[in-house]
Amino acid sequence: MGERDAPNVPPALSVVIASVNGYRYIAQCLRSLAAQRGRDRAEIIVVEGSGDDTARRIGADHPEVTVIPAARPIPTLRAIGIRKAKGDIVVTTQDYCVFGPDWYDQITSLHRATSHAAIGGAVENASGERVVDWAAYICEYGKFMLPFEARAQVDLPGPNVSYRRRLLEQVCGDLLDRGVWEGALHARLAEHDLSLRLIPSMVVYYAKVVAFREFVMQRYYFGRSFAAMRVAAAPARTRLFYSIVSPFLPPLFLWRYARCLVGKRRCLRQFIKASPLLVIFACAWSIGEFLGYAVGEGEASLRVK
């Protein structure tokens, strides 16, 4: 038995997967992880919140995976997995992601060669050529599309970001307990003068297929959840200010999408075709954000998938 297979040797890497989309997606994700090459082993922790029999099916088909059933919002699912993790490096991802065979090696090599507190990578589109899927991808992860240069950046993608686990728990333990979106974790790390880096060689592939109405509602729920968490401890005047500003967000979103993607000629055609849907999705987010500031999240966080 080699050292990396010894039961008492902690894994080099812990992979935490928030699973909320049912067995079809998590099965595809786990098959992709099983194909990883390299010398480093990883523990895989699936925190399962789909609300069906997915947890049981994972346990039956993938006994090597740690499964934790929990009907919670995605940020809380991630926090539960991070608390359970044993690896020095912990990476979060989503059930709708798949991976190249060197993903583990990229993560561990980058952390061994640097002192960054968090390293994020690219998110490429593997959902197909339907316009609605391209529009959904652009909304969610277009700003992390290749190509880009390695750079210091606080905004890192939740489905492809790795942390020095002990440092994350030390600096952001209270935020993990509150179950906040990853942006708040990254802002806290940056406030403590810790290094965060976006690096193009660390790549995941977004492989989710969506329906138009489903994604309109997802943008609404996500916007409302984001806004409510953003002002959870803010005074009334701050909530009022953001409420007033939020209806004017759609043009800003469209400008951001264009700024990120127009220079990347390989997807210019998809961006142009998706533009009408991007307008609708931006408006859905804006409505959700307005209500999140004005009246709170309701159950929006639980509905984000």
Which residue is it, tokens 């906040």? Answer: 180
Q: What number is the average pLDDT over the span 15-41?
A: 93
Crossing angle of helices 268-295 and 212-230, rounded to 10°: 50
Matching residue, tokens 């990229």 = 106
Q: Looking at the predicted structure, is the pLDDT value of residue 6 above 80?
A: no
Q: What pLDDT, on a 0 to 100 scale, did the predictor assign at position 9? A: 79
Lowest pLDDT segment from 101-105, 137-141, 265-269, 292-296: 265-269
Strand partners, 163: 90, 118
Percent of the chain whose pLDDT exceeds 70: 97
Beta-carbon contacts of 194 under 8 Å, excluding residues fewer than 6 positions away, are 117, 118, 167, 171
Distance from C-alpha of 271 to C-alpha of 284, rounded to nearest angstrom = 19
- Angstrom distance (rounded) from CA 254 to CA 262: 11
Q: Write down the residue that tokens 């943008």 correspond to.
A: 219
The token pair that represents 126 in the structure block: 């593997």
**Rounded-to-integer distance, Cα 269 and Cα 271, Å:** 5
pLDDT at position 16 over 50 = yes
Q: Per-residue pLDDT tens for 235-260? A: 999 999 999 999 999 999 999 998 88
Cβ atoms within 10 Å, residue 17 = 28
Q: Is 12 helix (H, G, I), strand (E, B) or coil?
A: coil
Torsion sign across C-alpha atoms 188, 97, 223, 283: positive
Predicted model pTM: 0.94
Q: What is the pLDDT of residue 1?
A: 35
**C-beta neighbour count of 217 within 10 angstroms:** 17
Q: What is the largest CA-CA distance in the chain?
A: 63
Q: Quick check: bond before 69 cis, omega within 30?
A: no
Residue 190 CB contacts under 8 Å (≥ 6 apart), including other chains: 154, 196
Please state, in angstroms and rounded to a whole number, the distance separating the CA atoms of residues 19 and 25.
8
pLDDT given for residue 2 in this prediction: 40
51, pLDDT greater than 90: no
Q: pLDDT band for 3, please (50, 70, 90 cuts).
A: very low
Q: Where are the domains of the chain?
A: 3-206, 212-303
Q: Examine the pLDDT at 228 and tell me if it is beyond 70.
A: yes
Question: What local confidence, expressed as pLDDT, does residue 259 receive?
Answer: 86
Average pLDDT, the chain: 94
Instruction: Give residue 63's pLDDT.
Output: 95
Could you tell me the sign of the dihedral formed by the alpha carbons of 297, 302, 303, 304, in that order?
positive
Share of the chain above pLDDT 90, in %: 89
pLDDT tens profile 173-205:
999 999 999 999 999 999 999 999 999 999 999
CATH classification code of 3-206: 3.90.550.10
Which range is least confidently modeled, 3-12, 22-31, 260-269, 293-302?
A: 3-12
State residue 7's pLDDT score: 58
Rounded CA-CA distance 172/213 in Å is 35
Instruction: Look at residue 4 in the predicted model and tell me its pLDDT.
Output: 45
As a whole number, mean pLDDT of residues 90-96 equals 98
